[in-house]
Amino acid sequence: NAGVTQTPKFRILKIGQSMTLQCTQDMNHNYMYWYRQDPGMGLKLIYYSVGAGITDKGEVPNGYNVSRSTTEDFPLRLELAAPSQTSVYFCASSYPVGANYGYTFGSGTRLTVV
Amino acid sequence: GDSVTQMEGPVTLSEEAFLTINCTYTATGYPSLFWYVQYPGEGLQLLLKATKADDKGSNKGFEATYRKETTSFHLEKGSVQVSDSAVYFCALFSGGYNKLIFGAGTRLAVHP
């Protein structure tokens, strides 16, 4: 059981480039989330999804886009990379009802924009 | 809005010392509360949880009690080990779309 898988683990982008961070889960979770973690800081929610075809903005959505065409996949797209997007990105998933199960996190993608 | 406040780190302890990491929250109603741990280079892992007042969550020697009267969920461990060195996040479940709200995290460093 792989849980939540994120790729790539590391990436360096130049300013203005674009990329997609991949996230896949095999637990049949309806809810999926993208967070960013800046050095020494907590997690900030970028986007989340409550099921295939449904996405919504979190606290810091500017500069990002998401899609959810399947239950398993929730890619995060950066269209015009900026130095302020240098961060560690975490994808997470959870069961659809109640909070008792908590979230399952991926191992993260460390992105540097230069 | 709902929020979580954790004590600032880093917390530096010697092996076998007693650990307390403070966490207080602001929320409407009675949210579920969580502690997550992040080991170096890894994602967050659920450490323990409590879903109602006076519940005690426990795992791997760590404990936290849901205190409604003080809106707190402090993390404790009687005897820390070097392997406990990590960042610890307190979080609450904010209703609606099953969203967790995280504190800023507290870094713990345990020395032999």
pLDDT digits (tens, 9 = 90+) for A3-42: 999 999 999 999 999 999 999 999 999 899 999 998 777 8
> Could you tell me the two tokens for A113?
């924009």
Q: In Å, how far from its chain's centre is CA A48?
A: 8
Question: Closest Cα partner for B43 from A12, A84, A5, A68?
Answer: A5
The neighbour count for residue A58, using CB atoms within 10 Å, is 17
The neighbour count for residue B88, using CB atoms within 10 Å, is 25
What distances in angstroms separate CA A38 from CA A43, A89, B104, one per listed residue?
Answer: 8, 9, 10
Q: Which residues of A touch B45 (CB under 8 A)?
A: 105
Q: Which residues of A touch B32 (CB under 8 A)?
A: 99-100
CA distance A111 to chain B (A): 13
Chain segment A43-85, per-residue pLDDT in tens: 899 999 989 999 999 989 999 999 999 999 999 999 999 999 9
Of B43, B51, B99, Cβ closest to residue A100: B51
Is the Cβ pair A90, B105 closer than 8 Å?
no
Strand partners, A90: A35
What distances in angstroms separate CA A25 from CA A49, A102, B61, B63, B111, one per listed residue?
Answer: 13, 15, 30, 29, 36
Q: CA B31, CA A34: separation in Å to the nearest integer?
A: 22
Q: What is the strand order of the sheet B19-21 is part of?
A: B19-21, B75-77, B62-65, B56-59
Chain segment B46-103, per-residue pLDDT in tens: 999 998 899 999 999 999 999 999 999 999 999 999 999 999 999 998 766 567 888 9
Of B31, B43, B102, Cβ closest to residue A106: B43
pLDDT at B28: 81
pLDDT at A97: 57
Q: CA A74, CA A48: separation in Å to the nearest integer?
A: 9
